[in-house]
Chains A and B, each alone.
Chain A
Amino acid sequence: MQFLSYYFIILWVLAFALYYLFPKKMQWYVLLAVSLLFYVIGFHGIPYALLITAVTTYACGLYLKKSLETQKAGEAQCSDKEQKKAVKSAFEKKRKRVQIIYFAVNLGLLVFHKYTGNIIMPIGISFYTLTAISYVIDAGRENCEAETNFLKVLLFLSYFPAITQGPFHRFTHMKEQFEAEHEFNYEKMLRGIQRFVWGAFKKLVIADRIGIFADRVFGSDTSAVSGSIYACAVVFYMLQLYADFSGYIDMAAGISETFDIALPENFKRPYFAKSVAEFWRRWHITLGTWFKDYVMFSFVMSAPGRKIGKFCKKKWSLLGKHIVPILGTMLVWFFTGVWHGRTINYMLWGVYYGLIMSLSLVLEAGYPVWKQKLHIKEGKGYQLFCMVRTWAIVFAADVLIRSESLAQAGAVFGAFFTRFHVTALVSSAVTSYGLSKYDFLLLFAALIIWLAVSILEERGNDVRAYLSAKPMPVRWICYYVIVLLLLITGIYGGNYDTAVFLYQSF
């Protein structure tokens, strides 16, 4: 079931009414029931994979809790440090073994469904599997208390606004909110609806419209498309991916907000970033922090990681300190690429970013020195240069993942250099890829609106609060414009299947 469907809207309205009519202590039960109903109605039943993950996550969490308690009790009875260390080590080994089995089962399910290509992939498996793993690791690290109520674990994993595309949420953050008592608040409800509508606008007016052009260009005979049209299509794809995914996140966050549950932010205007590292701190934020906390940190703090680090620092004092972070970075980016897709394009994409980020790590220390030597002042010009540089790096990466094969990616890069033909952008050729001149005009207007909102947000303004403070006629006109644009110019209806989101396939 997609957010942009009649059935979902009806479900949302009913769920909202029940949530605030139910006794406050039971509100989380409503969320759980709706989440399971969301799966049952929308995807014809609750997949066994989700149930296996929920049961194993619950059981593993409880085991870790019990193990830690027993360990502490044992340590309390020890007379010296060596004994305590031995007790701790014994319990840690056992916990590690159980966690390895847990990871094997759940990552195995993920790999089986995602990478074998023969089985229908359960919706959200990429998201709830990593969410579950974060809970187990946090329970093992004592960053959160393991939950004794299975239904709360199930809710955490299956929470319907976030199940299909995230954002990745942490157990502690969500548990508090699920258990809190929520009073109906009209302003919060309005804010949630506003955010939902804004997300739908980005998805249906911008992302899906751009997608028509990008799909046609990349679906055309490679030799017939000029480099400038490819360049336009890639830029469009960059915007499409952003609008589609952030649009979904806005819808998810908006829905959650109406239930007075805040989801973590997942985007912070990534195209304002001045470096690739900053870009990835602004894009799919929760995935980045997940990999940082559970892959990078785990590797760096692991016994092998520390051994390698020690060895490298001894052997190559200057560069040596970077080796472990570089290895961690490459590991993170390799898995990030693999997580996004099973083709070689995605793996290369991951390696590409891994190399860029590793290079940044090594060169970072030298930047202030070079800027001084080259008399570079960090004014607006320099900041613009940094942004454009970041866009160029992202652009090159997106050629890889948008292309249908490595061969096509190669042909696209070739077209940039051998037949750019910039005049194609102002010829009738540009309107032969599914978008009329009216579509381009509309896109331009919609992108201007989006840019204006982004600039306001980048300057620290809460746009919804900013609008709320305006006189009623001004507010209402803004709302009517967005909703009418969405209803009239949105890409939806019998000819389109655009209720599906791009990141859902990841």
Chain B
Amino acid sequence: MTRKQLVQAIIFIGIFLVALIPVSYIVRTNGDVKDRFSGFYAEEKNTLDIVMIGSSPVFPYYSAPKLWGETGIAAYPLSSNVQRPAAMKYLVKEAQKTQAPSLYIFEMRMYTMEDEGLSENMAYTRGVTDNLKYSRNRVETIQALVPETEERLSYYIDLFKYHTNWKMFAFASEWGNWRYEKKNKLKGFFVKDEVGPTPMPTAGGIEGELAIPEEQEAYLRELLQYLQENKLQALFIVSPYGISAEDQQMFNYMSGIIEEAGYHFLNMNNYYEEIGIVFEEDFADYASHTNAVGAEKCTAFLEEYLLANYQFTDKRGNDRYDSWDKAYELWLDELEKASAVIAEHIANEDYAEIEG
């Protein structure tokens, strides 16, 4: 083998591996999670004030366009369904590559669950790993979330899993994901217009503590350590939902650890009245996730809390945030439509059907 042949072979393989990256980005499964993550990567560098990390009690609860439109704070959710707490530290690292937010907000609902249960369904793990750009941090995330070495290959090269989506190449709109950067029109917010009523839970405000699962506590402490070492400001929240007494006590336990580390802990289940949340009307799926009306109330409450406890610069009027202005306009439109649909559901007692 001559030197020229060796160089040619290396270049050939190199070009091929590089070409595989956009190909695998395009065939990754479509959905709101992909849109949210690729929307995050599309945000201009160092323009975000807040990055919100956590599972599904983030993206239907907190409207980033509303927060922007009313306060000029740019917040973006880097969240996925049933996001495992083990992933949070790595998501912070990922966010730090392109942003320097003055605050990270962590939604804590998943910390009450055993990680073993969360790791049984690979979709929960892949919601994070298969929506990150290829990088060393992604490799480390996979190593942390997938303990069985022999299973990691299809995570490292997710093309092996998603190549069956090759038909996406037939749609020009999908080619926009070739760099995994595609602006999200609503800045990651997800509008729900269903109604699933339940009575208001009574566990909010309950005292007492119950230890969270051991491994989740370890992940929490690891996250806190990472935040402290890197001097990152953080707020830990629990969104309103059909909380049980057991869960409430676990959140009380968590708040002890978090406040000891010097961070704020906001359990919104202690503030139903202040939020103005109505469980019979403001939830899409029986006290699990808010609909658009409930989201507006939760966002308003969080907005107030943020302004009272943290310092942000109002960036409205800054040219770099034109897309945020558009997102706000669009959100207002979507909210109006969703509110009308929600009102109709309530009037007709036409409630959501839950699958499974």
* B23 contacts across to A, CB distance below 8 A: 484, 487-488
Q: Indicate whether B161 reaches chain A with its CB closer than 8 angstroms.
A: yes
Contact present for A184 and B1 (CB under 8 Å): yes
Q: Indicate whether A476 reaches chain B with its CB closer than 8 angstroms.
A: yes
The complex places the Cα of A436 from the Cα of B5 at a distance, in Å, of 42
* B170 contacts across to A, CB distance below 8 A: 438
Q: Indicate whether A495 reaches chain B with its CB closer than 8 angstroms.
A: yes
* B166 contacts across to A, CB distance below 8 A: 438, 442, 488-489
The complex places the Cα of A476 from the Cα of B11 at a distance, in Å, of 11
B1-47 at interface with A (beta carbon < 8 Å): 1-2, 5, 8, 12, 15-16, 19-20, 23, 27
Q: Indicate whether A490 reaches chain B with its CB closer than 8 angstroms.
A: yes
Q: Indicate whether B163 reaches chain A with its CB closer than 8 angstroms.
A: yes
Contact present for A186 and B167 (CB under 8 Å): no
The complex places the Cα of A483 from the Cα of B169 at a distance, in Å, of 16
The complex places the Cα of A483 from the Cα of B13 at a distance, in Å, of 11
Contact present for A494 and B161 (CB under 8 Å): yes
A377 to chain B, nearest CB (A): 47
Q: Indicate whether A480 reaches chain B with its CB closer than 8 angstroms.
A: yes
B150 to chain A, nearest CB (A): 9
* B161 contacts across to A, CB distance below 8 A: 493-494
Q: Indicate whether A6 reaches chain B with its CB closer than 8 angstroms.
A: yes
Contact present for B163 and A484 (CB under 8 Å): no
Chain B proximity mask over A247-263: 1 for CB below 8 Å, otherwise 0: 00000000000000000
Contact present for A484 and B164 (CB under 8 Å): no
* A489 contacts across to B, CB distance below 8 A: 163, 166
Q: Indicate whether B298 reaches chain A with its CB closer than 8 angstroms.
A: no
The complex places the Cα of A495 from the Cα of B2 at a distance, in Å, of 43
* B153 contacts across to A, CB distance below 8 A: 6
A160 to chain B, nearest CB (A): 23
Number of interface residues of B (CB under 8 A): 22
Q: Indicate whether B159 reaches chain A with its CB closer than 8 angstroms.
A: yes
A479 nearest CB neighbor, chain B only: B12
The complex places the Cα of A476 from the Cα of B154 at a distance, in Å, of 26
Contact present for A495 and B16 (CB under 8 Å): no
Contact present for A484 and B167 (CB under 8 Å): no
B162 nearest CB neighbor, chain A only: A493
Contact present for A483 and B1 (CB under 8 Å): no
A6 nearest CB neighbor, chain B only: B153
Partner of B163, one of A442, A472, A476, A487: A487
A470 to chain B, nearest CB (A): 14
* A184 contacts across to B, CB distance below 8 A: 1
A466-499 at interface with B (beta carbon < 8 Å): 472, 476, 479-480, 483-484, 487-490, 492-495
The complex places the Cα of A436 from the Cα of B166 at a distance, in Å, of 12
The complex places the Cα of A472 from the Cα of B1 at a distance, in Å, of 17
The complex places the Cα of A476 from the Cα of B1 at a distance, in Å, of 19
The complex places the Cα of A494 from the Cα of B161 at a distance, in Å, of 8
B178 to chain A, nearest CB (A): 14
Contact present for A487 and B1 (CB under 8 Å): no
A260 to chain B, nearest CB (A): 14
Contact present for A493 and B164 (CB under 8 Å): yes
The complex places the Cα of A442 from the Cα of B8 at a distance, in Å, of 31
Contact present for B163 and A488 (CB under 8 Å): yes
Contact present for B160 and A493 (CB under 8 Å): yes
The complex places the Cα of A495 from the Cα of B163 at a distance, in Å, of 12
Partner of A487, one of B15, B159, B169: B159
* A487 contacts across to B, CB distance below 8 A: 20, 23, 159, 163
B261 to chain A, nearest CB (A): 41
A interface majority secondary structure: helix
The complex places the Cα of A6 from the Cα of B27 at a distance, in Å, of 22
Partner of A490, one of B8, B163, B169: B163
The complex places the Cα of A436 from the Cα of B2 at a distance, in Å, of 47
B255 to chain A, nearest CB (A): 41
B159 nearest CB neighbor, chain A only: A487
Interface centre among A184, A186, A488 (most CB of B within 10 A): A488
A486 nearest CB neighbor, chain B only: B163
* A186 contacts across to B, CB distance below 8 A: 1-2, 5
Chain A proximity mask over B167-209: 1 for CB below 8 Å, otherwise 0: 1011000000000000000000000000000000000000000
Partner of B159, one of A476, A483, A488, A494: A488
* B164 contacts across to A, CB distance below 8 A: 493, 495
* B5 contacts across to A, CB distance below 8 A: 186
A242 to chain B, nearest CB (A): 24
B138-170 at interface with A (beta carbon < 8 Å): 153-154, 159-161, 163-164, 166-167, 169-170
Contact present for B163 and A493 (CB under 8 Å): yes
A438 nearest CB neighbor, chain B only: B167
Contact present for B167 and A436 (CB under 8 Å): yes
* A493 contacts across to B, CB distance below 8 A: 160-161, 163-164
Q: A186-B5, A493-B163 are in contact. Are A488 and B19 (CB under 8 A)?
A: no
The complex places the Cα of A480 from the Cα of B19 at a distance, in Å, of 9
Chain B proximity mask over A51-94: 1 for CB below 8 Å, otherwise 0: 00000000000000000000000000000000000000000000
Chain B proximity mask over A434-452: 1 for CB below 8 Å, otherwise 0: 0010100010000000000
The complex places the Cα of A184 from the Cα of B1 at a distance, in Å, of 8
Contact present for B1 and A488 (CB under 8 Å): no
B210 to chain A, nearest CB (A): 38
Contact present for A484 and B19 (CB under 8 Å): yes
A183-228 at interface with B (beta carbon < 8 Å): 184, 186
The complex places the Cα of A438 from the Cα of B159 at a distance, in Å, of 19
B164 nearest CB neighbor, chain A only: A493
* A476 contacts across to B, CB distance below 8 A: 12, 15
* B2 contacts across to A, CB distance below 8 A: 186
* A488 contacts across to B, CB distance below 8 A: 23, 27, 159, 163, 166, 169
B30 to chain A, nearest CB (A): 15
B347 to chain A, nearest CB (A): 40
The complex places the Cα of A476 from the Cα of B15 at a distance, in Å, of 10
* B19 contacts across to A, CB distance below 8 A: 480, 484
A475 to chain B, nearest CB (A): 10
Q: A6-B153, A186-B5, A488-B27 are in contact. Are A483 and B16 (CB under 8 A)?
A: yes
* B160 contacts across to A, CB distance below 8 A: 492-493
A445 to chain B, nearest CB (A): 12
Contact present for B1 and A480 (CB under 8 Å): no
Q: A184-B1, A186-B5, A488-B27 are in contact. Are A480 and B163 (CB under 8 A)?
A: no
* B16 contacts across to A, CB distance below 8 A: 480, 483
* B12 contacts across to A, CB distance below 8 A: 476, 479
* A484 contacts across to B, CB distance below 8 A: 19, 23
B242 to chain A, nearest CB (A): 35
* A438 contacts across to B, CB distance below 8 A: 166-167, 170
Interface centre among B20, B159, B164 (most CB of A within 10 A): B164
* B27 contacts across to A, CB distance below 8 A: 488
A485 nearest CB neighbor, chain B only: B166
A163 to chain B, nearest CB (A): 25
B112 to chain A, nearest CB (A): 31
The complex places the Cα of A490 from the Cα of B1 at a distance, in Å, of 31
A491 to chain B, nearest CB (A): 9
The complex places the Cα of A271 from the Cα of B72 at a distance, in Å, of 70
The complex places the Cα of A495 from the Cα of B160 at a distance, in Å, of 11
The complex places the Cα of A436 from the Cα of B170 at a distance, in Å, of 13
The complex places the Cα of A483 from the Cα of B12 at a distance, in Å, of 12
Could you show 22 A-B contacts with beta carbons less than 8 Å apart? A184-B1, A186-B1, A186-B2, A436-B167, A438-B166, A438-B167, A438-B170, A442-B166, A476-B12, A476-B15, A480-B15, A480-B16, A483-B16, A488-B23, A488-B159, A488-B163, A490-B163, A492-B160, A492-B163, A493-B161, A494-B154, A494-B161
Contacts A493-B164, A494-B161 aside, 14 further interface pairs with beta carbons under 8 A come to A184-B1, A436-B167, A438-B166, A472-B8, A480-B15, A483-B16, A488-B23, A488-B163, A488-B169, A489-B163, A489-B166, A492-B160, A493-B160, A494-B154
